[in-house]
Structure 1
Amino acid sequence: MQSKPASTVTKYPEKPINVIVAFSPGSGMDLTARTMERFAPKYLGQPLVVMNKPGGAGTVGWNELTGANPDGYTIGVVAIDMLLLTQYGSGKYDYPTALSPIAQVSALPMVLAVQAEQPWQTLADLIAHAKKHPGQLKFAHAGVGTFAHVLGEMLSQEAGITLDQVPFSGGSEVTSALLGGHVQLIIVNPVVVKEHVKNGTIRILAATGEQRTDDPILAQVPTFKEQGLDITLTNWFAIAAPKEMPLNLKTKLNEGFKALITDPEFTRNMNNAGLKVQYLGPQESLDKWLADSQKLTRTLKDTGVIEKIKAQRK
Structure 2
Amino acid sequence: MQSTPVTTTLSKFPEKPITTIVPFGAGGGLDLTTRSLEKIALNHLGQPLIIINKPGSAGALGWNELAGASPDGYTIGATSSEMVLLSLYGSGKYNYLTALTPLAQVTSLPMLLAVQADKPWRTLNDLIDYAKQHPGELKFGNAGVGSFAHVLGEMFSYDTGINTVQVPFSGGGEMTTALLGGHVQLIFVNPVSIKEHVKNGTVRILALTGEHRLNDSVFVQVPTFKEQGFDITLTNWHGVAVPKELPMDVKNKLEEKFKTIIMDPEFTKNMSNIGMPVEYLGSQDAQSKWQADSQKLQKTLQESGILEQIKAQRK
TM class by shorter-chain length? 0.7 to 0.9
Equivalent pairs, count: 309
Larger CA deviation: 271-280 vs 281-290: 271-280
Asked if the contact 1:137/1:183 (under 8 Å) is kept, the reply is no
Correspondence 1:205-284 to 2 at 5 A = 205-284=206-285
Aligned Cα root-mean-square deviation (Å): 3.0
Identity of aligned pairs, percent? 57
CA positional deviation for 1:232? 2.1
Q: Distance in 2 between the 1:249 and 1:290 partners?
A: 23
Aligned partner of 2:13 in structure 1 is 13
SS at match of 1:149: helix
Asked if the contact 1:156/1:163 (under 8 Å) is kept, the reply is yes
Structure 1 unmatched runs, 5+: none
Larger CA deviation: 278-287 vs 139-148: 139-148
Q: Distance in 2 between the 1:152 and 1:53 partners?
A: 24
Aligned partner of 1:79 in structure 2 is 80
Q: Distance in 2 between the 1:279 and 1:178 partners?
A: 31
Aligned partner of 1:167 in structure 2 is 167
SS at match of 2:225: coil
SS at match of 2:220: helix
Amino acid at match of 1:135: P
Amino acid at match of 2:40: F
Q: 1:309 to 1:232 in 2, by over 3 A?
A: closer
Aligned partner of 1:138 in structure 2 is 138
Aligned partner of 2:305 in structure 1 is 304
Q: Distance in 2 between the 1:37 and 1:180 partners?
A: 31
Amino acid at match of 1:21: V
SS at match of 1:219: coil
Q: Distance in 2 between the 1:36 and 1:176 partners?
A: 25
Normalising by structure 1, what TM-score?
0.83
Q: Distance in 2 between the 1:41 and 1:250 partners?
A: 18
Aligned partner of 1:94 in structure 2 is 95
Q: Distance in 1 between the 2:19 and 2:183 partners?
A: 43
Structure 2 unmatched runs, 5+: none
Q: Distance in 2 between the 1:206 and 1:286 partners?
A: 29
Asked if the contact 1:138/1:184 (under 8 Å) is kept, the reply is yes
SS at match of 1:83: helix
Normalising by structure 2, what TM-score?
0.83
Q: 1:98 to 1:163 in 2, by over 3 A?
A: same
Asked if the contact 1:144/1:308 (under 8 Å) is kept, the reply is no
